């Protein structure tokens, strides 16, 4: 088969969830509900932090970064996914597909970086409280946030360029709900080994290093918590750390499952792999405002006070 070195299709066709085409109309309803909850929750967290000067602290700045990243992640994927499920709008132009891939992967890496900075913040607050203010100054907080986003951008720009330069001479049907890196590479002609090697290396190094550092941070935190004399304080700290760890696991485990099974998990049903990949981009953004935001006393009290001002009855 002959093809030009840099031929690109005008558009791709996104399948949705292969094997569940008949059920996609109904699957879209819980997806839409979770999308609405994620958007509402993250916007609420951003507004609460912006409106209350007492929340202008490193911990809440990191939380607002996480909320903003989650909004970008779900907004870059869910509207198109819902249009596929409800309106059979499967077509996406080539440039839009590359852009969607860039936002998904770069901001996923950025979220991993912010989760790491949040673990570092909690480590300093619990284990080094006397040095907390001196270490996490305003400029340092801003630099850590920019570093998390900048790392994701710097890593994925070369990957996006590599995907855009591939030749696509066969089928233009992507067996996925969105434009994921390997789902695009599978449609390319010629040598795609550089893309595969780069993608696997980046995922392994980023997730491996970030998750190890997060685990070390929480191990040190838990060791410090076990030394607390008050049983109530230990229980409260365990609950807080446990919920944070649960969200981190919900972010990393489905992501790794989706990433590696897409390459070597051909024995796993396609609809299961794609469904997990879809939920990976939807469930953490929905849960993060609840775990990190509404469990935070200051944010919860501010939201409840706003509801009372609007005359909306709320449960404390």
In angstroms, the CA 101 to CA 203 distance is: 14
What is the per-residue pLDDT for 1?
Answer: 33
pLDDT at 5: 41
Closest among 105, 102, 70, 75 to 259, alpha carbons compared:
105
Distance of CA 297 to the CA centre of its chain: 24
pLDDT value of residue 255: 80
Beta-carbon contacts of residue 6 (< 8 Å; ≥ 6 apart): 165, 167
Token readout for 260 is 């590696």
- Angle CA 50–121–34, to nearest 5: 55
pLDDT digit string (tens) for 15-66? 999 888 889 999 999 999 999 999 999 998 998 889 888 888 998 999 999 9
Report the DSSP pairing between strands 173-174 and 11-14.
parallel
Q: Quote the distance between the C-alpha of residue 147 and its chain's center.
A: 16
pLDDT of res. 7: 59
The answer to whether 123 and 217 are in contact (CB under 8 A) is: yes
SS3 content of the chain, % helix, strand, coil (to 5): 75, 5, 20
Report residue 114 as tokens.
């912010």
Instruction: State the Cα–Cα distance between residues 241 and 206, nearest whole angstrom.
Output: 22
Return phi, psi of residue 3, to 5°.
Answer: -160, 155
CA 151 – CA 146 distance, rounded (Å): 8
Q: Give per-residue pLDDT as tens, 175-230.
A: 899 999 988 998 998 889 999 899 989 988 998 999 999 989 988 988 888 777 67
E-assigned strand segments in the chain: 11-14, 91-93, 173-174
Output the pLDDT for position 28.
Answer: 95
Encoded tokens for 53: 């000067």
First vs last C-alpha separation in the chain: 67
Query: Which residues share a beta bridge with 106?
Result: none
β-partners of residue 174 are: 14
φ, ψ (nearest 5 deg) of residue 18: -55, 130
* pTM of the shown model: 0.89
* Sheet arrangement for strand 11-14: 91-93, 11-14, 173-174
Query: Of 177-181, 269-273, 287-291, which one has max mean pLDDT?
Result: 177-181
Residue 162: phi and psi, rounded to 5, are -65, -40
Helix axes 231-264, 94-127, angle to 10 degrees: 150
Q: Which residues face 167 on adjacent strands?
A: 189
The domain limits of the chain are 11-296
* More confident site: 34 or 168: 34
In contact, 287 and 250? CB cutoff 8 Å = yes
C-alpha 305 chain-centroid distance: 30
Query: Tokens 């932090």 label which residue?
Result: 49
274 and 179 in contact (C-beta within 8 Å)? Answer: no
Rg (alpha carbons) of the chain, rounded to whole number: 21
The matching CATH number, chosen from 3.40.50.2300, 1.10.10.350, 1.20.1070.10, 1.10.8.100, for 11-296 is 1.20.1070.10
Residue 11: DSSP 8-state: E
Residue 6 scores a pLDDT above 50: no
What's the confidence (pLDDT) of residue 310?
A: 64
């Amino acid at each position: 088969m002959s093809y030009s070195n840099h031929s690109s299709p005008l558009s791709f066709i996104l399948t949705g969830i292969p094997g569940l085409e008949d059920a996609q109309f109904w699957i879209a309803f819980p997806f839409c509900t979770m999308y609405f909850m994620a958007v509402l929750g993250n916007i609420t967290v951003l507004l609460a932090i912006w409106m209350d000067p007492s929340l202008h602290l490193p911990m809440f700045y990191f939380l607002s970064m996480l909320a903003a990243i989650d909004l970008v992640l779900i907004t870059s994927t869910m509207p198109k996914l819902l249009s596929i499920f409800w309106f059979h709008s499967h077509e996406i132009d080539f440039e839009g597909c590359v852009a969607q891939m860039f936002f998904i992967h770069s901001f996923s890496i950025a979220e991993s970086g912010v989760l790491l900075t949040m673990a570092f913040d909690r480590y300093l607050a619990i284990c080094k409280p006397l040095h907390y203010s001196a270490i996490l100054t305003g400029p340092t907080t801003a630099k850590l946030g920019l570093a998390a986003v900048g790392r994701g951008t710097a890593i994925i720009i070369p990957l996006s360029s590599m995907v855009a330069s591939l030749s696509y001479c066969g089928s233009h049907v992507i067996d996925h709900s969105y434009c994921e890196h390997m789902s695009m590479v599978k449609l390319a002609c010629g040598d795609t080994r550089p893309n595969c090697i780069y993608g696997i290396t980046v995922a392994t190094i980023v997730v491996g290093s970030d998750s190890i550092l997060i685990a070390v941070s929480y191990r040190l935190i838990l060791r410090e918590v076990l030394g607390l004399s008050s049983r109530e304080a230990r229980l409260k700290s365990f609950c807080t750390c446990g919920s944070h760890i649960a969200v981190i696991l919900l972010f990393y485990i489905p992501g790794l499952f989706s990433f590696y099974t897409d390459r070597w998990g051909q024995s796993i049903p396609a609809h299961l792999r794609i469904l997990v990949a879809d939920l990976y981009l939807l469930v953490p953004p929905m849960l993060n405002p609840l775990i990190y935001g509404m469990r935070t006393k200051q944010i919860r009290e501010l939201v409840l006070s706003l509801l009372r001002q609007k005359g909306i009855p709320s449960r404390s």
